[in-house]
Structure 1
Amino acid sequence: MTPGFTVIRDSTPLTAIPKGTVVAMGNFDGVHLGHRAVIAAALQMGRAHGRPALAVTFEPHPRKFFSPNTPQFRLTDEAAKLRLLAGTGLAGAVVMIFDKARAGTTAQDFIHHDLIERLGVSGIAVGYDFHFGKGRVGSPSLLVNEAPRLGIEVDVQPHIDIEERPVSSSAIRMALAEGQIDDATAMLGGPWFVCGEVIHGEKRGRDLGYPTANIRLDKNCGLKHGIYAVRAGRGSERLDGVASFGRRPTFDNGAPLLEIFLFDFNGDLYGDVLDVAFIGFIREELKFDSVEALVAQMNDDSAWARALLAAAPGAFPKLGTILSSQE
């Protein structure tokens, strides 16, 4: 395997796929604490047997295949998910296309063809609720029952609770939709983040004394509209700021836009790609009767954001670098 985090796809030649690996299987949307427990189990199994550990995941998310017309708020797109997985210590990821053929593959065929014959796995770690194969017949118990005959090790991780509440991608989406950033951060094991290219806006912020870096998020993003304390990343650089996500009701009530004012920064970011981590929720989006009232509130928002960020020094998601990709 090429040093670094390697991405293996359905088109990757068999000769380029390492055999005998241990895999952590899941959709891994958000790579939250429950996912990380599965990954930790795979890493431990790999270390015990001197084998590299990989994630096995699916794109697009199976929900997108089964319900193509239903809006899907993903916590992490494919690129963000792979960067988070790369930050866990895994050697790489196997990204399987979830299409009609894979949806129709029986659980037994998936085990024997995809996992044993193609990947040659020696161990599998899954969460207690992971299902796979046609009709979701595949289950952790099926893997456990098949393990002795296949000569592989299987580890099933129980659910993870925080204050007696189960951690799940759905619970995190709900927390973000309600502006409960602290709850989302706790379940993720770090701040939720988005990534996007800085685009030109209406330049209103510059006139108000608050020039912003604007990023258009996915149309299905379910984050609550409001004002947030954020930490932005550009390469290895970290920049604190305050951000508004919403429709700008004081001005145009337009399409949702993420507008980030970075403290003590005067550079040009147009065309740059920023990671933006959400550290704290400050308030809901409001409509103001005057520009003066809006600017006064923005001053207060900035002060609140600075205080929240000072209480969370260094908080930023641990992102790994994808050094190679087997296509």
Structure 2
Amino acid sequence: MDVFQGYDHVPPGARGASVAIGNFDGVHKGHQALIARVRAEAARLGIRAGAVVFEPHPREFFQPARPLFTLTPLPQKLKLLEIYGVEITFVLPFAHELAQMSSEEFVERVLVAGLGVAHIVIGYDFLFGKGRAGNAQQLVELGKAFGFGVSVVPPIGSGGEVYSSSAVRAELAQGDVEGAAEMLGHRWKVEGIVQGGARRGTGLGYPTANIALGRGAALAHGIYAVHVDFEGQRYQGAAYLGTRPTFDDGSPVLEVFLFDFDGDLYGRRIEVEFVEFLRGDRKFDSLDALKAQMDVDCARASEVLTADAKAAADRGGR
């Protein structure tokens, strides 16, 4: 997938695409519906299927003091967009210039003059331009004036609930990583550089890889069964997110214990995929009690992940 920053100086070969526009945080099933439509339009017109994303999320620009639980930082978002079939992505830096553009200016300067779009796909609730004054109907009318097509995708959901980034965040805030995965169409993951810690896990027989979650992350505290990807290898593991109430009740940290791994991960980048929530965080009266519970947690995580691997193998064999 080709990635371009901004809308100025876009090379001729990158212009004229069919593009979906949005924040695409999580690249959930609603976003995937937009991508499917943009690919269909691209195939019909014989052009490339693309996406236009805003970075950072506009809410971070307008409300910097209110941290946003970002589901997919830009590198992860771009990976997912490519997986779902996007061929070209334009990343628009969301700052003062873009925030001050009227809806008409955004269309004329960014979409037409900058990107030369041939077709646009948006969600039914898409708003754009200064004060979020532009909507789907206005974009359709502007498309007629400037010569590009517009497709508006209706709400996508299940059981009466519309798939949205906010709904996914709400599921994760309750620890319901399986519910989040149902909305996402893939499991939620975090990635980061392994940091040094207090090495308490090592003393208990469970050395952990510690990574920082993003600003605003609101995942429920507790124990999770996880997959860990590192340098092309996948490991099963158990992850703890919490404030370590047995020790210091400090800032939240994500600690991951990899099963059947013996090595040094400090300074390395790992990816953690959340499979199932096992239990909530709590304080233990002694280290022995904590160690006994860790034994139980890891045994349970192993059961969950072994069953998951078998189910995946069965699906692949059909």
1:308 to 304, 309, 313: 304
Q: Which residue of 2 aligns with 1:229?
A: 225
Please tell me whether the aligned partners of residues 18 and 120 of structure 2 are also in contact (alpha carbons under 8 angstroms). Answer: yes
SS in 1 for 2:15: coil
Aligned counterparts of 1:138 and 1:25: Cα–Cα separation in 2 = 13
Equivalent AA in structure 2 for residue 232 of structure 1: V
Q: Could you say if the C-alpha distance between residues 303 and 12 of structure 1 is closer, same or farther in structure 2, counting changes exceeding 3 Å?
A: farther
Equivalent AA in structure 2 for residue 272 of structure 1: R
Alignment of 1:43-54 (within 5 A): 43-54=39-50
Equivalent AA in structure 2 for residue 28 of structure 1: F
1:104 to 100, 106, 109: 100
Post-superposition offset of 1:235: 3.4
Aligned counterparts of 1:203 and 1:312: Cα–Cα separation in 2 = 30
More off after superposition, 26-35 vs 64-73: 64-73
| Gapped regions of structure 1 (runs ≥ 5) | 317-327
Is 1:197 the counterpart of 2:193? The answer is yes
Post-superposition offset of 1:120: 0.6
Q: Which residue of 2 aligns with 1:258?
A: 254
| Gapped regions of structure 2 (runs ≥ 5) | 313-318
The percent identity for this pair of structures is 45
Q: Which residue of 1 aligns with 2:10?
A: 14
Post-superposition offset of 1:146: 2.6
SS in 1 for 2:11: helix
Is 1:132 the counterpart of 2:115? The answer is no
Aligned counterparts of 2:310 and 2:55: Cα–Cα separation in 1 = 31
Aligned counterparts of 1:91 and 1:314: Cα–Cα separation in 2 = 33
Which of the pair is proportionally richer in helix?
2
Aligned counterparts of 1:129 and 1:311: Cα–Cα separation in 2 = 39
Give deviations 1:281-316, integer Å, cap 9, x for gaps. Answer: 001011001111111111111122112222333999
Aligned residues: 312
Aligned counterparts of 1:147 and 1:232: Cα–Cα separation in 2 = 45
Q: Which residue of 2 aligns with 1:84?
A: 80
SS in 2 for 1:313: helix
Q: Could you say if the C-alpha distance between residues 314 and 157 of structure 1 is closer, same or farther in structure 2, counting changes exceeding 3 Å?
A: farther
Aligned counterparts of 1:130 and 1:34: Cα–Cα separation in 2 = 12
Give deviations 1:120-178, integer Å, cap 9, x for gaps. Answer: 11011111111110111211111222333322221111111122111111111111111
2:178 to 174, 178, 182: 182
SS in 2 for 1:94: strand
Whose RCO is larger (CA < 8 A, sep 6+)?
Answer: 1
Is 1:55 the counterpart of 2:51? The answer is yes
Q: Which residue of 1 aligns with 2:30?
A: 34
Q: Which residue of 1 aligns with 2:236?
A: 240
Alignment root-mean-square deviation, CA: 1.7
Aligned counterparts of 1:267 and 1:224: Cα–Cα separation in 2 = 29
TM-score, length-scaled by structure 2: 0.94
2:205 to 205, 209, 217: 209
1:267 to 238, 263, 267: 263
